Amino acid sequence: MIARGQTLAALRQRGVGLTVDGVTRHHAVRATDDPRQVRDVEYLFLAVKQQALDEIGAHLAPMLAPQGTVVPAVNGIPWWYLPTLASPLGDAPLQSVDGRGILRRALPLERVLGSVVYIAAHAAAPGVAAQNARNNLILGEPDGSMSARAARLAGLLTASGLQCEVSDRIHQAVWIKAMGNATFNPLSVLAHATMEAMVRDPYLGRLARAMLGEYLALGTALGLTLPVTVEQRMQAAASAGAARTSMLQDALQGKPLEIDALVGALIEIAAKLNLDMPYANMVWGLVRHRNLNTVPLENQAQKITGDYT
């Protein structure tokens, strides 16, 4: 595992910890903060925030075995999404994700195996994750094929206790989750609310439904066939109970918010398609400024980023 700071120290001392039903188990791992010490990796999972990907992009290819695969376990719209999707936008990169093209240049797209993570968890302590509810992972080739590498990895993960499936429509699966992320993550920060609270509150619930409807229409305009309804996404959110979104957890800890990949990418796609999304745009404007809460008021105008319209 590659980590730094307190997490690295904890991994070296105790191994990685997982808390399930109040019981924590630790598993010994090799941990380093130097990617140059990692080589010949068969499956390399990227589990960092979007804003950290540029920093590590140049280190990815040297870590892989000759036939090694990168599995981006990231939220939002990943950098490989549009270049591997037959859409009205072609393969033009998004400024909101990999705007400088670092990942695209550093890693051939054929090395990427798509994934969608449905695991409700939070960092309980450095090197320790507490799992709350769902435990699902979807894997899929960006070209829609059912490959041997995806089947092999799914088998390994299933044997470890994860519920893992392989999909031949990974773009569809990514978008369905991205709809929820782009809706509930910013709303949770602005309203300081759990998943269940956002669904139950009549005002937040109406706003969430309006945003989900806009993102559903956006996916359709992009050429996706989405077998999901707004109400199904609302029910899925309610099933998370009192879980806090990752963006809310970051906000409570005073960390920068992962707004570009989770929200900005969809706003940028809508702008490219000339699709009006008034509710999503209003929430985007609000959460962008919420992300500036550590910047002095007189300097905020100079720090504003993410104008994708």
- What are φ and ψ of residue 69, in 5° steps? -130, 140
What residues does 112 pair with on adjacent strands? 70
Q: Please name which of 211, 202, 141 lies closest in space to residue 181, comparing C-alpha atoms.
A: 211
> 10 Å Cβ neighbour count for 45?
17
Q: What b-and-e string marks burial along 168-190, b requiring 16 or more CB atoms within 10 Å of the CB?
A: ebbbbbbbbbbbbbbbbbbbbbb
Please give the pLDDT value at position 45: 96
Structure tokens at 120: 């409700």
Q: Please name which of 189, 194, 176, 181 lies closest in space to residue 232, comparing C-alpha atoms.
A: 176
- What are φ and ψ of residue 21, in 5° steps? 55, 40
> 10 Å Cβ neighbour count for 121?
18
Domain regions of the chain by residue span: 5-168, 172-293
Looking at 177, 255, 272, 303, which residue is catalytic? 177
Q: How far does CA 293 lie from the centroid of its chain?
A: 23
Please give the pLDDT value at position 55: 83
Please give the pLDDT value at position 180: 97
Looking at the domain 5-168, which fold is it?
Rossmann fold (3.40.50)
Is 177 in the active site? yes
109: which DSSP letter?
Answer: G
Contacts of range 287-296, beta carbons closer than 8 Å, 24 or more positions apart: 287/186, 287/189, 287/190, 287/257, 287/259, 287/263, 288/259, 290/189, 290/190, 290/251, 290/257, 291/256, 291/257, 291/259, 294/254
Where do we find the tokens 């191994």? Answer: 15
Structural contact between residues 132 and 243, judged by C-beta atoms closer than 8 angstroms: yes
CATH of 172-293, one of 2.60.40.1180, 1.10.1040.10, 3.30.230.70, 1.10.579.10: 1.10.1040.10
Q: Is the overall model pTM greater than 0.85, yes or no?
A: yes
Per-residue pLDDT of the chain (309 residues; tens, 9 = 90+): 999 999 999 999 999 999 988 899 999 999 999 999 999 999 999 998 887 888 888 888 999 999 999 999 999 999 999 999 999 998 878 999 988 888 988 889 999 999 999 987 788 899 999 987 678 999 999 999 999 999 999 999 999 888 999 999 999 999 999 999 999 999 999 999 999 999 999 999 999 999 999 999 999 999 999 999 999 999 999 988 888 999 999 999 888 899 999 999 999 999 999 999 999 999 999 999 888 765 554 554 555 556 666
Please give the pLDDT value at position 187: 98
Which 3 state secondary structure label does DSSP give 148? helix
Please give the pLDDT value at position 173: 98
Please give the pLDDT value at position 50: 82
How many angstroms separate the CA atoms of 11 and 126, rounded?
8
One-letter amino acid for residue 147 of the chain: S
Please give the pLDDT value at position 139: 98
One-letter amino acid for residue 220 of the chain: T
How would you classify the pairing of strands 16-20 and 23-27?
antiparallel
Structure tokens at 46: 């990227």
- How many degrees, rounded to 5, is the angle at CA 249 between CA 243 and CA 250? 155
